[in-house]
Every structure is written in C-alpha cells, then in structure tokens.
Amino acid sequence: MNYLLGSEFMRRISNALVVFVDALVEPSRLSLAVAVLLAVGIAPMVVAQAAHTSATPYKDPLMTPEKRVADLLSRMMLEEKATMLAGSGWMESGAIERLGIPAIKMADGPMGVRAWYGSSAITNATNAATVVTSTSFPSGETMAATWDPELVQREGQVIGQEVKALGRDMILGPTVNINRQPLWGRNFEGYGEDPYLTSRLAVAYVRGVQSEGVIPSVKHFAANNEEYERHRIDEQIDDRTLHEIYLPAFKAAVEEADAWSVMSAYNLVNGVHCAENEYLLNDVLRKEFGFNGFVVSDWGSTYSTAATVNAGMDLEMPGGEPMRKFLARPETLESGGGAGWLTTDKVVAAVKAGEISEATLNRNVERILRVIFVSGLFDSPHVASGIVDTPEQRAVALQGATEGIVLLKNGGALLPFDAKKIHSIALIGPNAGVARTGGGGSSLVRPKQAITPEEGIRDVAGSDVKVTYALGVGMEGEKPELDGTEARAKLRKEAADAAAQSDVAIVVVGRYPKLEGESFDVATMDLPPGQDELIQAVEAANPRTIVVLNTGDPVTMTRWIEKTPAILFMGYGGQEGGKALANILFGVANPSGKLPVTMPKHFEDSPAYGLYPGEHLKVNYAEGIYVGYRYFDTKKVEPQFPFGFGLSYTSFEYSGLDVHSSRVGSKEPAVTVTVKNTGASAGAEVVELYIHDGHSQIDRPERELKGFRRVELKPGESRLVEFWLTRQDFSYWSAEKKNWVAEPGAFEVQIGGSSRNIQVRAPLELK
Ligand code: BGC
C-alpha cells in the first residue's frame, strides 16, 4: 500500500473531492463520496475502493490501480498497446488520446532537471533553443560524500518539485552504478564505490522523487562502469560479484523504495545486451527483487524487437521523428547505438507472427499503465508553474555542496582562515574563476546562476581582504591559444608572483565537461596538462598553499602532495559550489564530507588496472568483489586517501562500543557506540560501521561497510549512536546456492572514521 503515502495520499483526497462534486450531479455515487469525505485515514478509502463499481473503472480514481489497469487494457486495440512500447519523441512516451492515456514527459537528471527541447533530439543544455534553467545540484559523488540520506531524500523531493514545475513527469535518475575504476567518465554521477552507501542514497533519492508523484528512473541496469565502447562492451561478471557489488543499489531501490522505473544500460553483461537480458530483467529484477514498475531503455540501446519485449524491457526510448534523426546520424551507427525496434508496426508484426505473445505485450503495457496510475499522472497531470530555483531548493543544493566537500589534508592547521589575520589571497587556477558545476553529458543542468569559487571567496572574505585572481594555466582545450609551452610559462609566472605577494594561495584545479563526462572515459588519472606544474610553482612561491580539487574522478597527487599543506576535494558542487567552498575555507562551515571512493596513489594501484577497458570488446571483471577499499584493505595496498576518509576542524573520540550478538535481526540496536566532539568547534562526524568476517570458508573482504550515521556535535558534546543489524549484513552471495548465506560464527564489528581508521572494535558471534 505504499503508493498511498505522502503527497500521493493528498492527491487521492483531492480526487475524492472531485468525486464528491460529481456526486451532486450523479446521485448514485453520493453515498460513496460522503463515505470518502468522512474518511480521515487510508483504510476507509481502501474499503471504498474495493466496494466501488463504475462504468469506466479506469477513469475512476477510487478504483485500485490494478482494476484500472485491467479495465483500460481490455479497451485497448493491438496497435494502441504496441504504441505504448516506444517513445513518441526524444523525451516523451506515446500517448493514446482516444483513451486519455497521457504521454510520460521526461527530463534528464539526476543532478536537477536538465533542459529538454520539446520532442526534438537536441537535449544538450547549451544547445537548447528554449532555455530551461533549474537548480543545479551537486554531482551524485559529492552528494555521496555527505553520507546524509536525509539530505539526499530532500534533494530528490525538491528535484521532484522542479520536474512538476516544468511540466514534466519523470526524472532520469538516480545513477547508482558503482565506481569500479578511476577513469570512468561518469564516476561523478554515481554514489561511489560501495554498494551499501550507494543503496542507502539510492533509496533516499527515489523516495524523495516519488513523494512528489514524479517517476524516477534508477539507472543504468546493470554494471555500466565504463564509457569505452559503451554500446558494444561485453562485461564478464560472475554472479557473486554482480550480487554483492553491482546490483545491491537496484535491489534496495526496488525493495525498500518501490521504485517505479529502472533504466536498462547500454552495455552487454555476459554476452547479452542489457535491454534484452532476460536474466537481469526477469530473473533478477522482477523475480528476485520483486520489481513491478517499468523498464525504460537507455537512449539508443535496443537491438531487436521480440527479444527485447520478451526479455521484459517495456519502453524503448527515444521514439518518433527524433529517433529517426538519431538513427540517421553516422555517429549513431559508428558507436553501435540502436533504436527504432519497438515501433508500432514492428511490434504488431511480431505479435502477428507469434514472436511475441499477446500476453507478453499486455504484461509490458500493464507495467507502464500501472505507474501512470500509481504516480497520479493519469488523474492529475502536472501543470507547469515554472517556479524553480526557489530559496528552498537552493538551500538544499548549498547544503549538499557544503557537506560534500572533503578536507583531505590540513597541515599546520592552515584552515580555516582567520579573517583577522589573512589580508591577501592569491586565487589561482583554471577552475577558480568559473563555476564548474558538474561533469559533461546528460546530467549537466543549466542553472539560472552559479557561484564561482572567486565570487564565493570574495563575498565571504569581505572588502578588507585583497583577493588577486590569476588563471595560472588554461584548461586544456578550452582556449587552444593558452595551451602552448610559452603561454603556460607566462601564466604560471603570473600566478607564482601573485602567490608570492599574498598571505595565502588557493589553487583550484580539476577538469571540465570536455575532459570528464558521458560517452568517453577520462584519459588519465593525472590532472590535465600544466596543472601539476602550476601547483608546484605556486607552492614554491608561497608554502601556505591550499589545493582545491574540482573534479569527479580521483587524480594523481604524488608530484606535489608532500609539499602541499592543505587539500580540499570539492568534487562538483553544482550551482552553489563556490559559496560552499568559501564557507569551508573561512570556517563558516566545518568540513564533514567523507570520500565515497578510495583515492589511489596511481592508476596502476587500482584493482581494475590491467582489466580495463578490456580487449576485443570484452572486459573481464576478474577482480571480482574486490572493488575499492575491499581491494585496498584486503590486499594491503596503501591508497593516497582511503574510502570514508575526511578531516574536520574539530576532533572526535569513540568509546563504549557495545555489541549484542543476540540482537541481530531484532528491533533492538545490536551495536551502540559513544562519539564525542573533543575539539573547540561544532562539527559533524560520519560514524562508519564495518563488519569483518573472521571465520568464513570462502574468500571475503577484510571489511565491508554495513552502517553509518552522520552526527552533529557541539564542542564537548557526546552522543550515543545506535546501529541495527540484520543477518543480511553478514551474508555473502553463494553462487552454488544462488542465494545469500550468513554463516554462523565469529565476526568483528569495527567502527571508525574511515576504512583505515578503525577506532573501536568488538567481536560478534552470529548464531
Ligand atoms: C544516458 C542516460 C540518459 C539518456 C537520456 C543516455 O545517453 O546514458 O543516462 O538519461 O541518455 O539523455
């Protein structure tokens, strides 16, 4: 019954009012309407639904979605059903006007509502003829660095509000693919390398979006972990690895948040394209996880008619004229993209030829219709108010950008700046004077306004602090005239001079959408050309240098890190990133972000090194479950910065760990621990709980994250933090049993501030 919660419930109440008004002209409905109006809770309304009859049940909001779907389906002609299986435009599904079935109007996400352009193929925000602006939220990775599911749920909710305000019905997000290796062009979009953290945030985002009656799309199912040859790459992944690493976030979004839609990925998994992968779509997603929403294809990722429909892929995108234009583009064929397989004529022909049974077609249509009813779209189409980027929405974006900044190093307590002692700042770098809000591709949102680091810093520093800006180095490829050796030397010298004449230097480096984004992988883990040299030159001129990393993927820091006193990883902070950065630098906010990924010293250290991008269009996930810290901690490889790591301007102490083995799976917390703020400023600590399996017969990682809590503490304050554990938290996926197995025996609970900073530990005996 979870579809009756929150704003959906309110919508049903208002629909009931409509029925009441109807009843004034149609007396046969009066008693029901009165009953509904008298109802104060959900139960009486459900009783009314069950007892109710109507001549056109599908139009009646008091009918259950199941009854409405069955009734509507019985009225549909074959062609109409077939029409439901493909888009009518670039961002719209097919409408059936005769029956009042609306098109589902979509917009890209997940970091806000991306501009679409009517039903045309142009979706690139910067090319859009009609300029649609909306709040640009931090990237998924930066939101993950907050370790704050409540905030992510709030983000989902306000994004849902913007979707409606712009007259759309569905947002193409969240992205929940795992960061398998540091060069994936879309690492910034997802929630990092850990399936547990990713699951918690996926559930939160989906709940937030759906609470507004907006359809999310959990993407990309499954294992879209590189952009290299994304239409053709065939990933060889064993079942245990799929279940333990690449599928949990989808499972959680389905089981816990009842996600209404999932997007199939471009790639192949074990020899079959995801859009026709019966194992993934039917066996896993539907039977194992219990998914009863619809599957939408990624744009241009379909390759067959019958095989796709029969595998349980419900809605092909894009469709109509934009799809035909897309197919006519030489790049589409070159890249291996496919579309236009589920057009009405092709589906009807396949049904008539017996390649698709009518029952299968009905089942796919039913799944789309059910979401149209359950989301409220059928009864209450979204009317665009155009009101976006409200102070409330901006506040969520700012909070995410601030909580998501990770303080990686703070030698000599250089940060936060003491505004009374700092009189001059040299602000340097290709990302200092421009707002790099996100990586490139379908997730990039065009904000009304975005705050650059320079604007943020000038604003917070105030007029008593002299801020000198120097570019230092051009961003590679942005202005080719700046990329030559001489031009670089000149810019570097200007920056070093500015640094020498200032109290402190801040160097904001990183990438931009042309170097990091969708449809290509990042060329190297190194910073773009000239940026390492810039940092070295500035540090030589002024040892009080802070390096700010404004990028999504990890970068090699070995050339300068020893000499750098302070480093901040700001990721992509969306439109409020510059303000968040300034607040952290000046101590208006205390850093509390923790890395959702391991930062390797070198690309060569990462587990997928040598196994990426694959050979002959096959990539073997031979590192198995050893992704991220599961690899670094088990194989004892020293990272540059470990998973879960992040400093604060204050300090925390852990004590009194209490573990109750008998409470696993019960309503009582199995683990409690006290955390105290032992420093002088208020701050937040993310308390991370890992499980170590001390007795397993099979290979298991050194530790796995199974709980976390973000706690805000005033100076001197302590708090008891509680964790509930279930048997699932101790389980591994048994390929033999094709199920999760929790082996009774000795485990250890480890709690601390990162995967490499375990502060307290205690045994737990699983019965
Ligand atoms: C991306 C999806 C996106 C879709 C629609 C695809 O290229 O992989 O994430 O939602 O395009 O723009």
- 402 by DSSP, 3-state: which? helix
φ, ψ at 548 (rounded to 5°): -115, 125
Distance in angstroms (rounded) separating the CA atoms of residues 722 and 180: 31
Our mutation pick for probing the ligand 1 site, out of 217, 298, 317, counting the most ligand atoms within 8 A of Cβ, is 298
User: What is the b/e burial string over 105-126, where b = at least 16 CB atoms within 10 angstroms of the residue's CB?
Assistant: bbbbbbbbbbbbbebbbbbebe
pLDDT exceeds 60 at position 16: no
**Three-state secondary structure call for residue 524:** coil
Residues of 680-709 as b/e, b for ≥16 C-beta within 10 angstroms?
A: eebbbbbbbbbbbbeeeeeebbbbbbbbbb
User: Locate tokens 């048994």: which residue?
Assistant: 734
Of 179, 238, 182, 251, nearest to 624 (Cα)? 238
Amino acid at 314: D
pLDDT at 12 over 90: no
- Name beta bridge partners: 752: 688, 758
pLDDT of residue 386: 87
Do you find a cis peptide bond into 318, omega within 30 degrees of 0? yes
Q: Which residue, judged by its Cα, is nearest atom 6 of ligand 1?
A: 299
Which one from 169, 194, 298, 729 is the annotated catalytic residue? 298
- Give the atom of ligand 1 at the shortest distance from the alpha carbon of 109: 10
SS (H, E, C) 595-615: CCCCECCCHHHCCCCCCCCCE
Q: How far is the CA of 518 from the centre of ligand 1 (A)?
A: 9
Q: Which residues are CB-neighbours of 191 under 8 A, at least 6 positions away? A: 140, 141, 143, 144, 174, 175, 176, 197, 198, 201, 202, 249, 596
Distance between CA atoms of residues 476 and 172, nearest Å: 30
Rounded to 10°, the helix 195-210/248-255 angle is 30
Provide the CA 308 distance to its chain's centre, in angstroms: 26
Residues 630, 643: Cα–Cα separation, whole Å: 10
* Ligand 1 centroid to residue 299 C-alpha, Å: 6
DSSP 599: B
Q: Has 418 been annotated as catalytic?
A: no
| CA–CA gap between residue 182 and residue 262 (Å, rounded) | 25
Residue of 116, 264, 518 with the most ligand 1 atoms within 8 Å of its CB, for mutation: 518
Given the structure tokens 């307290």, which residue do they identify?
760
pLDDT tens readout for residues 553-603:
999 999 999 999 999 999 999 999 999 999 999 999 999 999 999 999 999
Q: Which two tokens stand for residue 491?
A: 């810019």
Kindly give the number of the ligand 1 atom that is closest to the alpha carbon of 123: 12
Task: Give the binding-site residues of ligand 1, using a 6 Å CB cut-off.
Answer: 108, 123, 172, 219, 298-299, 442
List the one residue out of 491, 503, 501 whose CA is nearest residue 429. Answer: 491
Instruction: Please give the share of the chain, as a percent, with pLDDT higher than 70.
Output: 91
DSSP string, 103-147: PPBEEE-SSS-----TTSS---TTT-SS------PPPHHHHHTTT
Which atom in ligand 1 lies closest to the alpha carbon of residue 217?
10
182 C-beta neighbours (distance < 10 Å), count: 26
Express each pLDDT in 715-765 by its tens digit: 999 999 999 999 999 999 999 999 999 999 999 999 999 999 999 999 999
Query: How far apart are the CA of 19 and the centre of ligand 1, in A?
Result: 40
Specify the pLDDT at position 383: 87
Give per-residue pLDDT as tens, 106-149.
999 999 999 876 543 333 344 444 568 899 999 999 999 999 99
Q: How far apart (Å, rounded) are the C-alpha atoms in residues 645 and 686?
A: 9
- 602-648 per-position pLDDT tens digit: 999 999 999 999 999 999 999 999 999 999 999 999 999 999 999 99
The encoded tokens of residue 656 equal 């009194």
Mutate to test the pocket of ligand 1, among 171, 226, 299 (most ligand atoms within 8 A of CB): 299
Atom of ligand 1 nearest to the CA of 442: 12
- Do the Cβ atoms of 223 and 177 come closer than 8 Å? yes
- Cα(199)–Cα(179) distance, rounded to whole angstroms? 13
Does residue 405 register a pLDDT over 60?
A: yes
Residue nearest to atom 8 of ligand 1 (CA): 298
The vertex-693 CA angle with 689 and 699, nearest 5°, equals 125
Which residue has its alpha carbon closest to ligand 1 atom 4?
A: 299
Element (H, E) at 453: helix 453-461
- The more confidently predicted of residues 709 and 35 is 709
**Residue having the nearest C-alpha atom to atom 5 of ligand 1:** 299
Specify the pLDDT at position 21.
Answer: 39
The pLDDT assigned to 420 comes to: 84
- Sheet with 683-693, strands from edge to edge, namely 704-713, 683-693, 745-754, 757-766
Nearest C-alpha to atom 11 of ligand 1 is from which residue? 299
Phi-psi region of 460 (alpha: psi -120 to 50; beta: other; left: phi over 0): alpha
Distance from Cα 221 to the centre of ligand 1, integer Å: 12
Q: Kindly report whether the peptide bond that precedes residue 110 is cis, defined as omega within 30 degrees of 0.
A: yes
CA of 152 to the centre of ligand 1 (A): 21
Three-state DSSP class for residue 715: coil
* C-alpha pair distances (Å), 715 with each of 154, 681, 683: 27, 5, 8
Arithmetic mean of pLDDT, 519-532: 97
DSSP 431: T
What is the edge-to-edge ordering of all strands in the sheet holding 618-620?
Answer: 272-273, 268-269, 234-236, 618-620
Quote the pLDDT of residue 9. Answer: 42
Amino acid residing at 526: D
Atom of ligand 1 nearest to the CA of 172: 10
pLDDT bracket for residue 98 (50, 70, 90): very high
The overall average pLDDT reported for the chain is 92
Confidence tier at 533 by pLDDT (50, 70, 90): very high
Pairing of strands 261-264, 268-269: unpaired
Contact assessment for residue 729 and residue 717, using Cβ atoms and an 8 Å cutoff: no
The CA 172 to ligand 1 mean position distance, Å, reads 8
